[in-house]
Amino acid sequence: MALRKPPLREAHAERGATFTEFGGWDMPVEFDSIRAEHTAVREAAGIFDVSHMGQVEVTGPDSETLMQRLTSNDVSALAPGDAQYGVITDEDGIILDDTVTYCLPESHPADYLFVPNAGHDEQMHRRWTTYRDDHGLDAVVENATDDTAMFAVQGPDAVDLAVDAFGGMLRDLSRFEATLATLREAECLVARTGYTGEDGVEVVCPAGAAEAVYEAFDAAEPCGLGARDTLRIEAGLLLSGQDFDPDENPRTPYEAGLGWTVKLDTEFVGRDALEAVEAAGIDEKFVGFRLLDRGVPRHGYDIVNRDGTIVGEVTSGTMSPTLGEPIGMGYVPTQYADPGTVVRVVVRGQQKRARVQPLPFLDQ
Amino acid sequence: MTFDVPDDCRYLETHEWAREQDGTVRVGISDFAQDELGDVVFVELPTEGDELAAEDAFGVVESIKAVSDLYSPVSGTVTAVNEALFDEPELVNQDPFGDGWMVELDAADPGEMDDLLSAEEYREQTG
């Protein structure tokens, strides 16, 4: 199957990017070096092409009801211009994907935008339309992924750069707020959100405006998915399809440490199952850890206890560029989940001691 | 981009180099290999006295994005290990043929060096 391409695929190649397949997309993984890109985001600003993220718009009299029924958080609490993180669960309360829901500013033609992960847009579009039809709701659901570009500009200087690009009103944007802004006649949605643990904005624009938006941030370091991964791990943020996955690693939001996105006083698919999980308590929990011995924890490595019995698996890990220490995350039985607990990660047959610690790894 | 391929080394198809100096064979990975890997963050090496056979996996080099085995160009006994790489693995990126070397071997069969790629042959492979 041919890979999907972001609008700036060739422009990235000309800038010297190397590419990787991710969620069915051909995306830049590295421009200069992952470490240099990572450091730029922590110390100044970097720009990521995240056009592989899905963009699904929901409009109509029942748009709020539809969003409320299919995401775990309380969409009714959103005013126009608010954004909210939530998870999409099945009837059993298993996370299918996570998403940011944008209640769009009033001058935007659509009511809501939500952003499923790479390769999930068609599945979620189908889920939304099926639910709408089964429940006789009145809403238009449009998958705008292929007509849309999305960029994340992240780092301590990112908001200043966004002000330079779009104007001073962006300075008043609070965390998880979004506004419409114009750049060379292209209408963009600019939100103070991100996936790096740094301040910054995400910009959603028509595919035809991608070049203009990217060039407006030419003071930011071009960054690829490699740095996006190390940054989000340091920030303790989960990656859909890797830190949870309905097939490979089915998890409830409570296990994943995302219980705060579950509003049991709202009505949504999975609510009843999650109420039962919440009452019964969880057996396993998502934790962060730091290796005490030399080695690098990576996705799929076993976590064992003192006796060598397998108790869990690393879902994400890296050598932290900021801390200079090997860090990882994964699920362990709750008896091993308290900060300070020492478990072991098996690296090529050798047990490396790891100490459980609170997430995020970096103070924010 | 052109990569450094010193003429005084011989090469394995898997991108390790071997250089005879002072009666031992020093081993590392090539400029091409370090560039492919990206930022090296971890190196696992054998200990002095270990016996290696040619093309044995003798260690591991890890970058942020990849894990790669290291293969020994020749057979021999490990006489020195570059322990500086444990604290400064980035030396592999900065100076792959110099301070980024990995092990030194007392070669069991000096004739094995002739089985390796010459600098010219390796340039053709990576060019």
Spans of all domains in chain A: 9-54+146-234, 56-143, 283-357
Residue B70: inside a domain, yes or no?
A: yes
The answer to whether the beta carbons of residues B59 and B46 sit under 8 Å apart is yes
Query: What does the pLDDT read at residue B55?
Result: 93
* Nearest residue to B34 via CA among B113, B100, B116: B100
CATH topology of domain A56-143: Alpha-Beta Plaits (3.30.70)
Q: Residue B98's domain is classified under what CATH number?
A: 2.40.50.100
CB contact under 8 A, B64 and A326: no
* Alpha helices for chain B (secondary structure H): 31-37, 84-87, 91-94, 119-126
Q: What is the pLDDT of residues A39-69, one digit of tens each?
A: 999 999 999 999 999 999 999 999 999 999 9
Look at residue A311 and tell me whether its pLDDT is greater than 90.
yes
DSSP state of A92: T
Per the structure, the complete domain to which residue B60 belongs is given by 10-126
For residues B35-54, give the mean pLDDT: 96
For residues A88-100, give the mean pLDDT: 98
* Burial readout B82-91 (b: 16 or more C-beta within 10 A, e: otherwise): beebeeebeb
Distance CA A302, CA A152 (A): 33
DSSP state of A129: H
* Nearest residue to A220 via CA among A172, A171, A155: A155
Q: How far is B97 from chain A (nearest CA, A)?
A: 20
**pLDDT level of residue A364 (50, 70, 90 thresholds):** low
Q: What is the pLDDT of residues A272-286, one digit of tens each?
A: 999 999 999 999 999
Q: How far is B88 from chain A (nearest CA, A)?
A: 11
Q: Which of the four CATH numbers 3.40.50.1000, 3.90.1150.10, 3.60.150.10, 3.30.1360.120 does domain A9-54+146-234 have? A: 3.30.1360.120
A349/B contact by beta carbon, under 8 A: no
For residues A212-240, give the mean pLDDT: 98
Q: What is the pLDDT of residues A154-201, one digit of tens each?
A: 999 999 999 999 999 999 999 999 999 999 889 999 999 999 999 999
B86/A contact by beta carbon, under 8 A: yes
Look at residue A240 and tell me whether its pLDDT is greater than 80.
yes
Q: What is the CA radius of gyration of chain B?
A: 13
Query: A283-357 has which CATH code?
Result: 2.40.30.110
CB contact under 8 A, A319 and B38: no
Query: What does the pLDDT read at residue B2?
Result: 86
Residues 13-72 of B with CB under 8 A from A: 38-39, 41-42, 44, 60, 62-65, 67
Query: What does the pLDDT read at residue A125?
Result: 98
Residue B23: inside a domain, yes or no?
A: yes
Q: What is the pLDDT of residues A108-117, one digit of tens each?
A: 999 999 999 9
Look at residue A131 and tell me whether its pLDDT is greater than 90.
yes
Domain count, chain B: 1
CB contact under 8 A, B64 and A321: yes
Q: What is the pLDDT of residues B4-28, one digit of tens each?
A: 999 999 999 999 999 998 889 999 9
* Nearest residue to A183 via CA among A164, A201, A199, A202: A164
**pLDDT level of residue B1 (50, 70, 90 thresholds):** low
CB contact under 8 A, A29 and B65: yes
Query: What does the pLDDT read at residue A127?
Result: 98
**Residue type for A95, please?**
I
**pLDDT level of residue B127 (50, 70, 90 thresholds):** confident
